[in-house]
Structures are given as structure tokens and as C-alpha cells.
Amino acid sequence: MQAVGRTPQRAPDGAPPHYERHRPKQTTLYRLVQKHAAGFIAHTEACRLGGGSRRACDIAEAALQVVKGKAG
């Protein structure tokens, strides 16, 4: 957190701080999630309702645990 009235710190070479705008929608991760999220969610819902192969459901459930931070 920066104090009011303080000037931004400079780089070791004296250059002003560099700011580069983030563009998350242009990242590979964003595109992968955009491409596969709907199918993954639909598949996990089908597993919860009793459809889908047991192995595929186990894999989907393990992936959800990883996302939730509960992987063991």
C-alpha cells in the first residue's frame, strides 16, 4: 500500500516504474478454460446424476478436488 503523497519507487537504474496492462482474456489458460469449462461442468453434473462411466466420473471428481484445494 502506498502512502498518500509519496512518489512511486524507481527501478535500480533510476527508470520510472513500468506498468503493463494485463489482458487475461488473451492468455492460453483463459482460452483453455473457455473452451472446456462447459463440457467439464456438464460431465460432472451427469456423473452426480448417475450417468457417465465410473472411471470418467472418478477423474472428474479428482479434478474438482484439485481445483477446490482438497487433493490428497
Domain ranges in the chain are 25-68
Alpha-carbon span 56 to 61, nearest angstrom: 9
Contact between 5 and 14 under an 8 Å Cβ cutoff? The reply is: no
Residue 2 has pLDDT above 60, yes or no: no
50: left (phi over 0), alpha (psi -120 to 50) or beta: left
The 10s digit of each residue's pLDDT in 3-45 is 566 666 777 777 777 777 888 888 998 998 888 888 888 887 8
Closest CA to 52 of 38, 42, 62: 42
Residue 72 has pLDDT above 70, yes or no: no
